Chains A and B, each alone.
Chain A
Amino acid sequence: MAMIDEPLYPIAVLIDELKNEDIQLRLNSIRKLSTIARALGEERTRKELIPFLSENNDDDDEVLLAMAEELGVFIPYVGGVEHANVLLPPLETLCIVEETCVRDKAVESLCRIGAQMREQDLVEFFIPLLKRLAAGEWFTARVSSCGLFHIAYPSAPEALKTELRTLYGQLCQDDMPMVRRSAATNLGKFAATVEAPHLKVDIMSMFDDLTHDDQDSVRLLAVEGCAALGKLLEPQDCIAHILPVIVNFSQDKSWRVRYMVANQLYELCEAVGPEPTRSDLVPAYVRLLRDNEAEVRIAAAGKVTKFCRILNSELAIQNILPCVKELSTDSSQHVRSALASVIMGMAPILGKDATIEQLLPIFLSLLKDEFPDVRLNIISKLDQVNQVIGIDLLSQSLLPAIVELAEDRHWRVRLAIIEYIPLLASQLGVGFFDDKLGALCMQWLKDKVYSIRDAAANNVKRLAEEFGPDWAMQHIVPQVLDMINNPHYLYRMTILHAVSVLAPVMGKDITCSKLLPVVINASKDRVPNIKFNVAKVLQSLIPIVDQSVVEKTIRPCLVELSEDPDVDVRYFATQALQSSDQQMMMSS
């Protein structure tokens, strides 16, 4: 047992804990691996620490994950790029472990190291490692290998390049679906490094294999490959090779594959260009919008605006709009809800006339939907349509919808509509708001559910911000302050909360003249909860009002509360007094 100098003690502990029984301590040591490495020096890190870590491959997954991550940034500690290859063996063993997240991290770290390695080192060390993994006995090794090709390939000499392409082709046909999935996932990255002639031949034939795979899970990933490959190919090759695949996928037997197409179609359109989009992808998209599986329609409906944006408005009106009309009365509420969340965005694309003529009836029918989420989604995007046609055409239908949502028996629905009130207020303008919505905002302050009351208080503040203190003084503050006399203490507490959030917006004059007296009054409340909330509110008002007001009004009130029989009241009053002291010291 070595004697350790006093200053080295912590680092010695850190090293010993690499093998501690307690996983937390091991994890901690691994996270400080760079400190250990610097203590050992570059040479001993290479010769001792790294081999030591390579042995340590049967540790718990959490430790291995941390190790995989640390090794990715370890090049400076082993003596720079020319020694980077010593980091490969421990990462290679981590590429074979069973836990997916550890393997993924090891692959990520290998990529990071490989990207910095010198070309001759890549050929000498990295590519052999890749080949070992790709021919690995366990599928885990082969899965990991797929993610390394794009790093190795560019540096490989011609003969090796051919070999690597062949290897990847084999991985695309592996017995294990896990390996084929990994090959499909990484195909785009690998293809980006392959030279054009090989891309058209080798990569496309691998892609072809994957698109015909028996396993749905592999074909799903091949759908994503379409967009990636499409961007690499010349437009005419893309039309010849990728387009038919997309069209086929959009009619795949598996709804999950069609679902992926519905989600990705927008990117695929970009890959193939405008003309084929019009001739082939619009019909495919229309089919997806009318798919018999609701999940597919949900995905397709959610992309309707994005898709229309790349078409011209004429095509959109001609082809997409009829489907949108059908979807607005779809039997699945989730489809309607997905449509409602994006459909407002179509207004700017279609222009004013088409919006009024075609979209408005759809908006109105969705606003009357029996499912609250659908209505909420329409309301949440109101600003987009307002820009195109103005709110007047909608306001007649809007109000009943809002009122109904405001009184929905599910409090989450009420909460959601409150969140949109400031947006509505800004869109609808002061006049409309005063007439119709003001009363609702007050009503929420007296809701049975705390979250609603809380949100209502914040809503009052946001309205004051939107329309200004003068308006608030007229339309909000008196009504709010009236409610401080509510017989139920919970409602009185809501008002105190509203006062504390309103004060900064209203400014010190109104605060002193209107808000503060109400709070001071409330300090005489018989319920201790009100009293300690008064203390909290007063504390929050201190920075807003003048020092003289603090001295004259706030502090005496707090002093009185600090002698209250209730322990909580005393506590919060004392807190407030202390903070006022600090305030004074800082300002003096």
Chain B
Amino acid sequence: MNGGDEVVTAPAGPPQPLDWKFSQVFGERTAGEEVQEVDIISAIEFDKTGDHLATGDRGGRVVLFERTDTKDHDALRRDLERTDHPINRHPEFRYKTEFQSHEPEFDYLKSLEIEEKINKIRWCQTANRALFLLSTNDKTIKFWKVQEKKVKKISEMNLDPPKAVGNGCVASSSNSNSPTLCLANGGSSGNDFSFPPGGLPSLRLPVVTSQETNLVARCRRVYAHAHDYHINSISNNSDGETFISADDLRINLWNLEISNQSFNIVDVKPANMEDLTEVITSAEFHPTHCNMLAYSSSKGSIRLIDLRQSALCDSHAKLFEEPEAPGSRSFFTEIIASISDIKFAKDGRYMLSRDYMTLKLWDINMDSGPVSTFQVHEYLRPKLCDLYENDSIFDKFECCLSGDGLRVATGSYSNLFRIFGCAPGSTEATTLEASKNPMRRQVQTPSRPSRSLSSITRVVRRGAETSGVDANGNSFDFTTKLLHLAWHATENSIACAAANSLYMYYA
């Protein structure tokens, strides 16, 4: 694990704001096309190298994309991991494969339906050209291996295929002990078979001709029955052998190779559930320190815990909270303080958190308050009452940091997402729309920008009460929210989900 050498080595003065351009879209809706609930993307994750991208959807599917523009596929992988040189071309991805990760289930003991929706995806260490990833729904985590397999075409056999098929019972009789011929006792000399010293020339091995390959996803392990509440996060440890899973009240530690036991490391469940005031909303391991992990709560605090201190980490090592500004308290204060996502920066020094109205950047060495706070959609503040009534206030937006730690991004409504510069002195604040023309929101025109046909039909169909125009002429639509997005590990490239479409942008 390379330590802090990629850290914000801030050049003199803040970096220039980036000029974002549309790169690609997968699953773009055609005009008037209804979005199928199962197709809505519910998780996005780049792998550590940025060569692969995975999305999960509400239908329990995981779709993998692979990068096509890396110049030299034969170059040593280890070199690729290290290179950080500027590439003129922007990342381009193509569909690689997809598989059904989770199926809807019914818990008969508790009479509960378990949705197949993928809550989180995390990539694991690639080995021997096979890709590994963890995917989870509300209850069950699965470990997947995606691997290229040769398509077998057998051209030469000892027996005619039809004959072999016809004698299926004989073929399978070698499986159990055949009554006539005893093959079961393998190599010993007491075998019924005696072979001539030179062997039997008439026998031949099957010959495989075709070298075509196809991708096969196999579920290697299932980590189940360890969570009473809904899993909100999974996160890999830097040691490459363990990971955590967090639900509303508990965090469990697993070994990737052992699926039948896990250790409970955090338990915030009060003895009496009526005393419950706070739940865990998100948890993540530190990118390099194997013993540190952070988890966020519905009260707006982040706790950093040290696994070295004790086996059960109910007492935190550090608590990050912003002191409440006096006089600002309202009915919504507690609701909008709830943190929906936390992410560590790659260097492990900074943490990013997203609550309903803001993004906050924290220095893990400073627990008195965030280093910077970014307002994501301040114009919604007067509308909190409406947002509460239509439950939008409980939407869980994700956040992400760029690989160099200089910028942060998060989503909003109307398929908008915002990118902020977080280097000292930077005032960069960009609003983009998840569409083929991301920058049109920046155009300061009083009239509404021309809309594509699909957007117009959408507005008409959904009626006006969820969509409106604010003082700046920006429309907002609570039903089109951009919850999930991810930043490429090394380059300025963002993938984000607008309903069932995956949009990618670069700068």
Please name all residues of chain B whose beta carbon is closer than 8 Å to the beta carbon of A4 when the two chains form the complex.
Answer: 158-159, 202-203
B147 surroundings in chain A (CB, below 8 A): 58, 98
Find B127's partner among A14, A138, A217, A294 (CB 8 Å cutoff). Answer: A138
Question: Inside 8 A of A252's CB, which chain B residues have their CB?
Answer: 308
Given contact pairs A58-B147, A98-B132, A293-B311, A19 touches B154 in the complex (Cβ within 8 A): yes
Contact with A along B125-160 (1 / 0, CB 8 A): 101111010000000000001011110101001111
B203 and A295 form a contact (CB under 8 A)? no
With an 8 A cutoff between CB atoms, is A96 at the interface? Answer: yes
Residues of A near B208 (CB, < 8 A) are: 19, 55
B460 interface residue per 8 A CB criterion? no
In the assembly, what is the distance between CA of A31 and CA of B205, in Å? 16
Which residue of A43, A45, A77 contacts B187 across the interface (Cβ within 8 Å)? A77
**B174 part of interface (Cβ distance < 8 Å):** yes
Cross-chain contact of B175 among A19, A24, A139 (Cβ < 8 A): A24
Tell whether A35 pairs with B183 under 8 Å between CB atoms, given A1-B160, A8-B203, A100-B257: yes
Residue in contact with B290 in the complex, picked from A8, A45, A77, A216, CB distance below 8 Å: A216
B interface bracket (residues with beta carbon within 8 Å of A): 35 or more
Of chain B, the residue at the smallest CB distance from A293 is: B310
Question: Is there contact, CB below 8 Å, between A19 and B152?
Answer: yes
The answer on a CB contact under 8 Å between A17 and B197 is no
**Which of chain B's residues 205-245 have a Cβ closer than 8 Å to chain A?**
205-206, 208, 220, 238-242
A509 at interface, CB cutoff 8 A? no
28 sampled A-B residue pairs with Cβ under 8 A: A2-B202, A4-B202, A10-B178, A11-B200, A11-B203, A13-B158, A15-B204, A16-B171, A16-B206, A18-B205, A19-B152, A19-B206, A28-B175, A34-B187, A38-B195, A39-B203, A40-B200, A55-B208, A58-B148, A96-B128, A98-B128, A138-B77, A177-B240, A178-B125, A181-B241, A215-B239, A216-B290, A256-B308
Q: How far is the CA of A24 from the CA of B128 in the complex (A)?
A: 25
Known: A100-B257, A139-B127. A32 touches B311 (CB 8 A): no
In the A-B complex, the 7 residue pairs with the smallest Cβ-Cβ separation, listed nearest first, are A41-B199, A34-B187, A12-B158, A254-B308, A98-B127, A19-B206, A40-B199
**CB neighbours of B220 from chain A (8 A):** 99
Interface residue A9 (Cβ < 8 Å from any Cβ of B): yes
> Do A44 and B174 have beta carbons less than 8 Å apart?
no
Cα–Cα distance between A253 and B439 once the two chains are bound (Å): 51
Query: Are B241 and A11 within 8 A (Cβ)?
Result: no
B276 an interface residue at 8 Å Cβ cutoff?
no
Q: Which residues of A contact B129 (CB under 8 A)?
A: 138
Bound: A100/B145 CA distance, A: 13
* A137: interface (CB < 8 Å): yes
Interface residues of A in 19-67 (CB under 8 A from B): 19-20, 24-25, 28-29, 31-32, 34-35, 38-45, 48-49, 52, 55, 58
Q: Which residues of chain A have C-beta atoms less than 8 A from B197's C-beta? A: 41
Find out whether the CB atom of B239 lies under 8 angstroms from the CB atom of A137.
Answer: no
Contact A97 B171, beta carbon cutoff 8 Å: no
A357 on the interface (CB 8 Å rule)?
Answer: no
Query: Does A195 reach chain B (CB closer than 8 Å)?
Result: no
| Chief secondary structure at chain B's binding surface | loop
Q: Is A392 an interface residue (CB 8 A)?
A: no
- Expressed in whole angstroms, the minimum distance between the Cβ of A292 and any Cβ of chain B is 7
Cβ–Cβ contact A10 & B170, under 8 A: yes
Q: Does A435 interact with chain B (Cβ within 8 Å)?
A: no
Given contacts A13-B159, A38-B193, A255-B310, contact A32 B183 (CB under 8 A): yes
A: number of interface residues (CB 8 Å): 69
Q: Does A176 contact B (CB under 8 A)?
A: yes
Structural contact, B239 and A217, CB atoms closer than 8 A: yes
If A178-B125, A215-B238 touch, whether A18 touches B311 (CB-CB below 8 Å) is: no
* B195 with A177: CB separation less than 8 A: no
- Is A2 a contact partner of B204 (Cβ separation < 8 A)? yes
A440 to B206 Cα, complex, angstroms = 70
- Please give me the residue from chain A that is nearest to B81 by CB atom: A175
Asked if B198 is an interface residue, CB under 8 A from chain A, the answer is yes
CB distance from A4 to the nearest CB of B (A): 6
Say whether A35 contacts B193, CB under 8 Å.
Answer: yes
Bound form: Cα–Cα A255–B312 in Å? 11
Q: State whether the Cβ of B186 lies closer than 8 Å to any Cβ in chain A.
A: yes
Pick the contact of B238 from A28, A31, A177 — CB < 8 Å? Answer: A177
A139 adjacent to B125 (CB under 8 Å): yes
Nearest-neighbor residue (CB-CB) of A93 within chain B: B128
Q: State the Cβ distance, B179 to closest chain A Cβ, in Å.
A: 11
- A370 interface hit (Cβ, 8 Å): no
**Chain A neighbourhood of B290, CB < 8 A:** 177, 214-217
Do A177 and B239 have beta carbons less than 8 Å apart?
A: yes
Q: Is B36 an interface residue (CB 8 A)?
A: no
Q: Is the CB of A13 within 8 A of B310?
A: no
Q: Are B1 and A1 in contact (CB under 8 A)?
A: no
Give me the interface of A with B, judged by CB distance under 8 Å: 1-5, 8-20, 24-25, 28-29, 31-32, 34-35, 38-45, 48-49, 52, 55, 58, 76-77, 96-100, 137-141, 175-178, 181, 214-217, 252-256, 292-295
A258: nearest chain-B partner, CB-CB = B308
Contacts of B125 in A (CB 8 A): 139, 176, 178
Q: Which of A58, A140, A253 has the most CB of B within 10 A?
A: A58
Complex contact B159–A16 (CB within 8 A): yes
A176 to B241, CA, bound (A): 11
Q: How far is the CB of A330 from the nearest CB of chain B, in Å? A: 15
User: Which chain B residues lie closer than 8 Å to A41 at the CB level?
Assistant: 195-200
Given contacts A49-B205, A98-B128, contact A38 B170 (CB under 8 A): no
Query: In the docked arrangement, what's the CA distance between A4 and B157, Å?
Result: 11
Q: Please measure, in the bound complex, the distance between the C-alpha atom of A4 and the C-alpha atom of B170, giving whole angstroms.
A: 14
Are A12 and B203 in contact, with the CB atoms below 8 A? yes
Does B87 touch A at the CB level, under 8 Å?
no
Chain B residues near A141: list those with CB within 8 A: 128
For B479, list chain A residues within 8 Å (CB). none
Chain B residues lying within 8 Å of A42, measured Cβ to Cβ, are: 199
A503 to B288, CA, bound (A): 68
A28 touches B174 (CB 8 A): yes
Contacting pair B289 A214 (CB below 8 A): yes
- Asked if residues A98 and B193 are in contact (CB atoms below 8 Å), the reply is no
When the two chains form their complex, are residues A48 and B238 in contact, meaning their CB atoms are under 8 A apart?
no
* A-side contacts of B68, CB under 8 Å: none
Shortest B76–chain A CB gap in Å is: 6
Please name 4 further chain A to chain B contacts, defined as beta carbons within 8 Å, in addition to the given A19-B154, A41-B200, sorted by A numbering: A10-B173, A10-B178, A16-B157, A38-B193
CB distance from B183 to the nearest CB of A (A): 6
What is the CB-to-nearest-CB distance from B421 to chain A, in angstroms, rounded to a whole number? 31
Asked if B309 is at the interface of the complex by the 8 Å CB criterion, the answer is yes
B16 within 8 A of partner (CB): no
A residues within 8 A CB of B130? 98
Contact partner, B158, options A15, A176, A178, Cβ 8 Å: A15
- Of the residues A11, A49, A137, A256, contact of B76 by C-beta under 8 Å: A137
| B191 on the A face (CB < 8 A) | yes
- Interface contact B241-A25, CB-CB below 8 Å: no
User: B181 contacts the other chain (Cβ, under 8 Å)?
Assistant: yes
A282 to B123, CA, bound (A): 46
Taking a contact as CB atoms under 8 Å apart, the answer to whether A255 and B158 are in contact is no
Q: A139-B127, A293-B310 are in contact. Are A39 and B77 (CB under 8 A)?
A: no
Q: Provide the B1-44 mask, 1 if CB < 8 A to any CB of A, else 0.
A: 11000000000000000000000000000000000000000000
Structural contact, B186 and A34, CB atoms closer than 8 A: yes
CB distance B149 to A58 under 8 Å?
yes
B261 at the interface (CB under 8 A from A): no
Please pick, from B170, B181, B202, B308, the residue contacting A255 in the complex, using a CB distance under 8 A.
B308
Mask: chain B, 78-105; 1 = CB below 8 Å from A; 0 = not: 1000000000000000000000000000
For A255, list chain B residues within 8 Å (CB).
308-311
Residues of the B chain whose Cβ atoms lie less than 8 Å from the Cβ of A177 = 1, 238-241, 290
Residue of A nearest to B82 (CB): A175
Chain B: CB-nearest residue to A28? B175
Flag if B183 contacts A39 (CB, 8 Å).
no
Chain B residues near A35: list those with CB within 8 A.
183, 186-187, 191, 193
A48–B288 alpha-carbon span in the complex (Å): 48
User: A215: which B residues are within 8 A, CB to CB?
Assistant: 238-239, 290
